[in-house]
Amino acid sequence: MPTTEQRATNITWHEGEATRDERHRNLGQKGATLWMTGLSGSGKSTVAVALEQVLLQRGKHAYRLDGDNVRHGLNKNLGFSAEDRTENIRRIGEVSKLFADAGILAITSFISPYRADRDLVRKLHADAGLPFIEVFVDAPLDVAEGRDPKGLYKKARAGQLKGFTGIDDPYEAPEKPELHLKTHELTVEQSVAVLIELLESRSLLSA
């Protein structure tokens, strides 16, 4: 076994921190946040899951933030009051910003119905010089409700869920999203193709 001194001869470092550019070059891509917003059942998760698969196939690096890994973890001490919903989105925005800074494509899929909350996350990224791509994942309410993958619309219509977006709480559609994805007019493959083209057109998939 080599001694500590011998091992240490392979180690060189210099003053100053590794830069964002160095991290991104090392990953062969630029970090960014792809923020999917839309009604429950609009297709956010389906598109996010498919996009991650296709990026991985191409050797690119993405990570999805969604209810599964955030609501039961980082944000498990938040409820559904107006204040807590805003804090929920703020924290997700801050975490996606850290992933983007690290060089990973953060793909978030949360309803995130309020414009002010999304605009705050956009500003967080702008202030940090990191790309924020808002994707309006859009399907008409009757289509989304017809899909109802989690049975939530049914519960909301039955009055078992209060403050449900699209039923008794508003969805504030993005006014100027980077992309408007009408999932009822596209296959999943087509949605992913459009997203990949958007990422490529912004040179985010190369360092």
The site for a copy of itself (CB under 8 A) is made up of 4-5, 7-8, 10-14, 16-18, 22-23, 26-27, 49-50, 52-54, 56-57, 59, 61, 63-65, 69, 73-74, 77, 87, 91, 94-95, 97-99, 101-104, 124, 186-190, 192-194, 196-197
193 three-class SS: helix
Distance (Å, whole) CA 119 – CA 24: 25
State which residue, 160 or 190, has the beta carbon closest to a copy of itself.
190
State which residue, 61 or 184, has the beta carbon closest to a copy of itself.
61
Distance (Å, whole) CA 98 – CA 118: 16
Tokens found for residue 161:
């869920």
- Max CA separation in the chain (angstroms): 71
Min separation Cβ 113 and a copy of itself, Å: 22
Q: Which of 112, 191, 201, 203 is catalytic?
A: 112
Distance (Å, whole) CA 39 – CA 194: 20
206 catalytic residue (yes or no): no
Min separation Cβ 49 and a copy of itself, Å: 5
Min separation Cβ 63 and a copy of itself, Å: 4
Min separation Cβ 174 and a copy of itself, Å: 21
State which residue, 52 or 138, has the beta carbon closest to a copy of itself.
52
User: Residue 108's closest CA among 63, 69, 65?
Assistant: 65
Distance (Å, whole) CA 92 – CA 75: 9
How many Cβ atoms sit within 10 Å of the Cβ of residue 106?
25
Catalytic residues: 112
